A = this chain, B = another copy of it.
């Protein structure tokens, strides 16, 4: 993955291959990302709880999903060095703002599958 900056395109345009916002679209336009961000909207959630909430996700995939979200500044990871050790994931302000469009998407899906033909 090349390191792109906004200089690579005049204006942010998801239809432009070189635009860095493609990376962000690719990140968010993903089943697990959309579900994870939704699950974090009500406040910090621990790894194990997320794993139960996102039914069917494996720990490895959850781990990599969260890491990608963290790298893009959408999620914060906080370690509590207690016993037993636990970790809380929470949305950054940016992550919170991304929650709205993703919630629309999840809602649309749920509302438009009532009659799956």
Q: Which residues of A contact B (CB under 8 A)?
A: 5-6, 11-22, 24-26, 28-31, 33-35, 38-39, 53-56, 73, 94, 97-98, 100-102, 104-114, 116-117
Secondary structure type dominating chain A contacts: helix
The answer to whether A105 and B17 have CB atoms under 8 Å apart is no
The answer to whether A22 and B31 have CB atoms under 8 Å apart is yes
- A6 vs B112: C-alpha distance in the bound complex, in angstroms? 12
Q: Which residues of B contact A105 (CB under 8 A)?
A: 25, 28-29, 101-102, 104-105
Measured CB to CB, the closest approach of chain B to A41, in angstroms, equals 12
- A116 vs B12: C-alpha distance in the bound complex, in angstroms? 11
* Given A6-B113, A29-B31, A29-B105, 6 new contacts (CB under 8 A): A11-B110, A14-B34, A14-B109, A22-B56, A25-B31, A100-B104
Measured CB to CB, the closest approach of chain B to A69, in angstroms, equals 14
Q: Which residues of B contact A14 (CB under 8 A)?
A: 34-35, 106, 109-110
